[in-house]
Amino acid sequence: MSAISLGDMARSFMLRRHTLDLKQTMQQLTNEVATGQVGDVAARVSGDLIPIASIDASLARLKGYTAVTTEAGLFVGAMQTALGTVDKLAGTLSNTLISTTTGASASLLDAAGRQAEQDLQTALSVFNTRFGDRSLFAGTATSNAPLVASDTLLSALVSAVSGAVSAQDVETAVTNWFADPNGYDALAYQGGDALAALAIAPGEQTHIDVTAKDPALRNTIKGLAMAALLNRGVLADQNTGRQDLARRAGLGLLENKSDRTNVAAKLGLVEAQIDAAATRNATENYALQIARNGITEADPYETASRLEETQAQLEKIYAITARMSRLSLLDYL
């Protein structure tokens, strides 16, 4: 049988092809050593990519839930902070107002009225707080400030109580204005309905449905506004009537304390639910990552051995190529 030999060009091409194949294999093995993951996942699972696709889809959903729970937790936390600020100033003002009910001079009542108007302005500003680009207490109308300025609110109330001749008349007129759909809801509240349920985990939702229309918040604003009317000339020259108005406003704020506490407790339950959901999502994410790594993880010892073997083969080809490049006709003969 006659021998079949390769020409110089064919041999050179064959060596270059083997060199390229080994370089690609070496690059793949180097990446596997560095990342700990196999380069060819399809080969590892024999072409059955359904388990990997299912795990990746679950991980993508959990990533979305993680973003939701993180933002929702911060959002509710900001609401708690705002509510705590208003509760504190309402509690302090109620004590001040009640202390002026007996024998208070006109100057003390004037000071209490100024303080009440300042606290009203602060409370409205706090309830108008934004978290990122969303209003905290505006419900679905997240781009709007939920409440008007204190001057606008007090101007409407001054008109509403214009015919009042006693503190009881003032309280009745203010209460009616806040309860009237054409009063507080139409002229003071600029937000929307409560937010819809928010999905925070697979099969689980939470409700962040507190707005500035909530009765507890509305009554707090009512108490602050009624006290602030002392600084707007209501019941002027009626020191006893103004004392009575201060007392009624102070008692209203004090009685509203339990309602504010209930709202804070409600938000606290939402915070706890969000935190628990975030923990479960993180646990599930960790378990899925382990499962995925179990499928795609490269054996470090096997990969290192293959890398060393490939490197040795590549060095041999380099050596052969070097010898062939130095081969002369005399050496060949």
CATH of the domain at 275: 1.20.1330.10
Residue 316 lies in a domain: no
Confidence of residue 327 (pLDDT cuts 50, 70, 90): low
Does 322 fall in a domain?
A: no
pLDDT value at residue 278: 94
In order, the DSSP letters of 239-275 are: HHHHHHHHHHHHHHHHHTHHHHHHHHHHHHHHHHHHH
How many domains are contained in the chain?
A: 1
Domain residues for the domain of 274 are 77-286
Q: Confirm whether 23 is domain-assigned.
A: no
The answer to the question of residue 253 being in a domain is yes
Would you say residue 69 lies in a domain?
no
Enumerate the β-bridge partners of residue 130. Answer: 135
Tell me whether residue 123 is in a domain. Answer: yes
Does some domain include residue 29? no
CA distance 247 to 97: 6
The residue behind tokens 């083997």 is: 18
Length of the chain: 333
CB neighbour burial string for 179-188, b if at least 16 within 10 angstroms, e if fewer: eeeebbeebb
Q: What pLDDT does 329 receive? A: 47
**pLDDT band at 138, cuts 50/70/90?**
very high
Q: What is the largest CA-CA distance in the chain?
A: 132
Give the pLDDT confidence of 160-215 residue by residue, as tens digits.
999 889 999 999 999 999 999 999 999 999 999 999 999 999 989 999 999 999 99
Rounded mean pLDDT of 98-114?
Answer: 84
pTM greater than 0.85: no
pLDDT for the residue 48? 56
Q: Is 128 a member of any domain?
A: yes
Q: Which of 27-31, 230-234, 243-247 has the lowest mean pLDDT?
A: 27-31
In this prediction, residue 13 carries a pLDDT of 67
**CA gap 37, 15 in Å, rounded:** 30
